[in-house]
Amino acid sequence: MPFAGIDIGSLTAEAVIVDQGEIIQYTICSTGSNSRKAADKVMKLALQRAGLVLADIEYLVATGYGRVNIEFADKRITEITCHGRGAYFWNPEVRTVIDIGGQDSKVIRLNDKGRVVDFAMNDKCAAGTGRFLEVMAHALEVELAGLSELSDKAINAVSISSMCTVFAESEVVSLIARGLPREDIARGLHQSIAERTAGLVKRVGLEERVMMTGGVACNSAVVRALNEKLNTLIIIPSEPQIAGALGAALLAEEEFTS
């Protein structure tokens, strides 16, 4: 029996279909300006690729900031719980989950059953998130996908004093105007994200092992900076963006069969 989870984030939407605790299909697409349309689109694509229709799904759980707009969901569960469940599926030894998405970041601590025991969240601004990196990449005149590569070429790291997206953008423009290497600025930005994220980790307490989920986990420079700052080796799953939707699908299966 297939079960599904949908995660509607600020920048991307993900759908995952599972059967007997295994992933059989997943899809990622842009959320755009309409979260309801994004949910319809991402679910339709996942179903088509799996050779299914919505009526075949026994139970569906929605998560993410847009979960309230998914009318065909059977239940809605917070992204904290879903990301924790998704991370635990990939590695049951994980006790700390760092999730950096499009416009918020969170650190989740799990017990040995994969249940959330504590969390800290930054949802007041886009500092240190995917949106922050998008704006900084634009200021540095580089594609977002090339930001890590640019940082890898740095000799030194330029200290970035502001983490507010608007002020940091102005600061980056000023640093470029002063002739500082873009590579060093990029590394400084990645280190500033690691510093901010480490503050969230400190609030919940670091417990090994650590996994990173969310779109920013695809930025290798951020991951390296966090490894160094936390003095640990962070696990990156094969598709970190689907952690929330995966957790939602697994919880859908557990809800239906319990």
Query: Do 225 and 99 share a structural domain?
Result: yes
Query: Do 210 and 141 share a structural domain?
Result: yes
| Coil vs helix vs strand at 106 | strand
Query: Do 97 and 66 share a structural domain?
Result: no
Q: Which two tokens stand for residue 212?
A: 């990173």
How far apart (Å, rounded) are the C-alpha atoms in residues 159 and 2? 49
For 167, phi and psi rounded to 5 degrees?
A: -70, -35
Query: Do 67 and 115 share a structural domain?
Result: no
Query: Do 107 and 62 share a structural domain?
Result: no
Query: Do 172 and 244 share a structural domain?
Result: no
Chain segment 33-60, per-residue pLDDT in tens: 898 999 999 999 999 999 999 999 999 9
Query: Do 230 and 129 share a structural domain?
Result: yes
Instruction: Return the amino acid letter for 146.
Output: G
**Residue 66 pLDDT level (bands cut at 50, 70, 90):** confident
> Cβ(247)–Cβ(85) under 8 Å?
yes
Per-residue pLDDT at 11 exceeds 90: no
Lowest-pLDDT range, 72-86, 116-130, 184-198, 214-228?
A: 116-130
Query: Do 250 and 169 share a structural domain?
Result: no
Query: Do 246 and 205 share a structural domain?
Result: no
Chain segment 184-215, per-residue pLDDT in tens: 999 999 999 999 899 999 999 999 999 999 99
Query: Domain of 182?
Result: 93-236
Tokens 């936390």, located at residue:
230
How far apart (Å, rounded) are the C-alpha atoms in residues 229 and 76? 35
The CATH number assigned to the domain holding 156 equals 3.30.420.40
Number of domains in the chain: 2
Q: Which two tokens stand for residue 191?
A: 């280190």
Per-residue pLDDT at 69 exceeds 90: no
How far apart (Å, rounded) are the C-alpha atoms in residues 108 and 94? 10
**Residue 124 pLDDT level (bands cut at 50, 70, 90):** low
Q: What percent of the chain has pLDDT over 90?
A: 80
Mean pLDDT in residue range 158-185: 90
Query: Do 195 and 257 share a structural domain?
Result: no
The pTM of the full predicted model, rounded to 2 decimals, is 0.92
Query: Do 183 and 119 share a structural domain?
Result: yes
How far apart (Å, rounded) are the C-alpha atoms in residues 97 and 206? 10
Among 17, 41, 13, 43, which residue's Cα sits nearest to residue 28?
13
DSSP string for residues in 144-161: GGGHHHHHHT-SS-----
Query: Do 225 and 97 share a structural domain?
Result: yes
How far apart (Å, rounded) are the C-alpha atoms in residues 82 and 180? 42
